[in-house]
Structures are given as structure tokens and as C-alpha cells.
Structure 1
Amino acid sequence: MTRHAWSERQQLCDELDRLGPDAPTLCEGWATRDLAAHLFVRDARPDLGIGAFLPLLGGRLQRERDKLAQGDYRALVTRVRAGAPAWNPVSRPRIDELANLVEFFVHHEDVRRAQPSWAPRDLAGNEQRALWAALRRTARLMFRKAGTGVVLVAPGVGRHSARLPDEHGTVVLRGTPAELVLFAYGRGDHADVQFEGQADDVVMLRQSKLGLG
């Protein structure tokens, strides 16, 4: 099977190595060292990951991430590059592809697009289709706080209703699957997408808090 998630992981680690520990990212408040620590915890300390959802455990998660971020950066990136440990089901290629494709694609772009010289990548068609399939699975969750109806259109790939309209109309969001994923995961200021709809509805969507938060 094609392992897009693994490829994105390796390319992201290449960027982390190239840029060093203090480069900016699109993740608010995080430099590259903080992002690497987040990814390591996600792979190797899922027991801490629950702190992202339970405030009582959030301090423990933050302390561990901070400790990792202030440690040996090169060693940390090497550990992220190696992937999840064998005991973690995510180490299996099929589960890795399902669980990590969007995670590593988005974070790869978080690093790339925070740099002044970034340019869009020309992703292969099969990776675009894999991103589209992943977006379809999560679109209703990602757009649940959108203030409008949302229809996603990836020309030549597909069309998907992400949210039904309520008091506002529907906005058609058009772009490649990669750019639509970035918009859906809260990177709208850095995503190359086009909007079709009433002006006030477009403004409402652009101002909506999207993603898992």
C-alpha cells in the first residue's frame, strides 16, 4: 500500500532538521521544537494525550511537552522520524495511514507555510484523493462551528456537503483537497481556496472557528 502518512512524516522531519529548533510554525505559540514534542507525545505517550481534552490533566501534558521541547532537539526529531513504537497500533501501516495522514500533512504545512519562502507543493493525484477521502470522513466535525452551510468542491475529485445551512445560506468552498483540508483544520489564512456565496455568508465562514478546537 502507498504510505502517504509515512512520507509526510519523513518530509516534515527533513524540514524540522533543516530549520532547527526555533523556527516559527503556524501553530500559535509553537516553534519547531514544540511541534516536534507534540508529535512525539502523540506517538509514544498516548496516556498524556488525554490531557488535550481533560483540563485536569492538561498541566501534566504541558509539562511533559515543555520538558521534551527543551531537551536534545536532534534526538527528538529522530524519534519522531522513527514513528510510533511497536506496541502502539498506529505503528501498523494501515492504521497509520488512517490516523496520521492528515496530522502529518497539516503539520508539515504548518512548518513550510510559516517560512517566508514557502510555495505550494504539487502533490500527486493519489495523495490528493487520499486527503479528500480523509476530509469527507471528518468534514461534519471540522465544520460543526461554521456559521453557514458549507459545500466542499475539489474540481476533478468530488463534491461533499460538510454542513447544512441554518439561518445563514450556504458557501461553496472550492480548492484542491490539500487546500480544503488546511482550511477545515483552521489554517484558512494560509489556504488557497475560493468562496462562492453571499458576501456576509463568506465573511461568517471565514471568521468561524474550525477544526477540533
Structure 2
Amino acid sequence: MTWHETERAWLADTLRATPFDAPTLCAGWQARHLAAHLVLRERAPRAGVGAVGTAATRGPEAAVQRLAEDVDGPAAYAALVDAFAAPPARWSPLSWAGDAVNASEYFIHTEDLRRGAGPVPPRDLPDGLRDLLWRQLLRMAPVRLRRLGPGLVLVRPDDVRSAVHRARAGHGTVVARGDVGELVLAVSGRLQAADVRLEGAPADVAAVRELLTGP
């Protein structure tokens, strides 16, 4: 199996083990909203993509809300999870997007569920998945951090590091230390739930924390 297939299965199992009305790390969303987002992301991409954690566009957010409102109990929730657990249709762009689009997405949403009610031990990630997440993190981080004043250097426990954002004038550089999965969560805007240590001048650390902490 590819990593996105493995992570889809893990995410589906995590959804099944989570009550439909359980909180998640996505602001205002219960598990049923996250399941709705995942289904719409593959079956109606315009409605599902871009809605996570923000009302950036009213269409996606409204579509997720409508589908989630239909989930009024365990049976309806189980059906929605089963719909996500099945691979997307051939016509869906996500049917051929593979690891490049889905691996980090599924990993992050699994943690949205696992950590929604509070801290839990991190998953023990296989080396291959850890390496894939690291590569995808290095591509994601410059985009996510483009408005940040301080620079940011990511450092793994094995001391592999990468400068993912250059400091702007008047700012220093912050070092973020943590396991790869924790760094992925932090850069995706879930710093408050990630086991990551920030090092740097207090004002610069505060700026990084503000950008990377969800509402």
C-alpha cells in the first residue's frame, strides 16, 4: 500500500473510534464536520477543499455544515465515514493525486480527531512516512509562513534541519524543535496541540506562535 492509502485507513479507523459529536482541532467542528469535509473533498471538490478551520469561502463552509447537520446520530455518522473509507471515484482528481496531495492531509486530520479533546501520546510513525511528511513539510512551510516577520528553522530530533523562512528586516530567526509529525501540525496552524519547542527572541517567538496557533 502507498502511504496515502495507509493514512486513509488509519484516518477512517480513527473516525470510527471517535463519537460523531466529539470536538476536533478544527475550530467549531465536531468529528461529523470533519467527516463531511473529507467526503466533499473527494466527491465535490469545490465544496470540500479549503474549508478546514476557516470560513475563507462561504460555499465550502456552508456545504460542510449542511452535510454535517444531516448526521444526527451514530448510524448516519457511520455511513458518512464508510463513504470516506472507500477510495474516490476515478473521475475525482484525488483518485490519482496520491501521496503528494493526500498523505499529509490525512495525517493532519487524524491528529485533529485524536487531539480534539486534549493531549494524547504522538503516533509512532514508520520511517518512510516520516520522511515523506518531512519532504512535504518543506514544500508547505514557505507558503504557510510567507507573511511571517521572523525567520523559521525547523529541527528534527536527529538534528536534521531546514531554514524554511527568511527573516524580514527588524526580525530575528526562531528555531522550532520537534518530531516530524509535531512540526507538520505546528506549521499547519495547530501549534497549540503540537509538542514543539520554540527558541528565539521573545517578540519573534510570540509572532511565530500567533501565526501558527489556531483559534
TM-score by length of 2: 0.86
Q: Contact 1:112–1:118 (CA<8 Å) still a contact in 2? A: yes
- SS of equivalent residue, structure 1 residue 151: strand
Matches within 5 A, 1:48-197: 48-49=47-48, 52=51, 58-71=57-70, 72-92=76-96, 95-116=97-118, 118-156=120-158, 158-166=160-168, 167-197=170-200
1:67–1:148 Cα change, 3 Å: same
Query: What amino acid does structure 2 have at the position aligned with 1:21?
Result: F
- SS of equivalent residue, structure 2 residue 64: helix
* 2:209 corresponds to 1:206: yes
Identity in percent: 40
1:60–1:168 Cα change, 3 Å: closer
Q: Contact 2:37–2:49 (CA<8 Å) still a contact in 1? A: no
CA distance in 1, matches of 2:118, 2:175: 30
CA distance in 2, matches of 1:19, 1:50: 22
1:19–1:154 Cα change, 3 Å: same
Unaligned runs of 5+ in 2: 71-75
- Give the aligned CA root-mean-square deviation in angstroms: 2.2
CA distance in 2, matches of 1:170, 1:51: 29
Query: What amino acid does structure 1 have at the position aligned with 2:166?
Result: L
CA distance in 2, matches of 1:37, 1:98: 22
Query: What amino acid does structure 2 have at the position aligned with 1:82?
Result: A
User: Partner of 2:25 in structure 1?
Assistant: 26
Q: Contact 1:143–1:210 (CA<8 Å) still a contact in 2? A: no
CA distance in 2, matches of 1:202, 1:157: 20
TM-score by length of 1: 0.87
Query: What amino acid does structure 2 have at the position aligned with 1:37?
Result: A
Comparing 26-35 with 188-197, which one deviates more in the overlay? 188-197
1:16–1:96 Cα change, 3 Å: same
1:67–1:208 Cα change, 3 Å: closer
CA distance in 2, matches of 1:158, 1:13: 32
1:123–1:45 Cα change, 3 Å: same
User: Partner of 1:36 in structure 2?
Assistant: 35
CA distance in 1, matches of 2:60, 2:94: 20
Query: What amino acid does structure 2 have at the position aligned with 1:197?
Result: G
1:47–1:152 Cα change, 3 Å: same
CA distance in 2, matches of 1:185, 1:85: 28
Q: Deviations over 1:107-132 (max 9, x none)?
A: 10000011347221111111111100
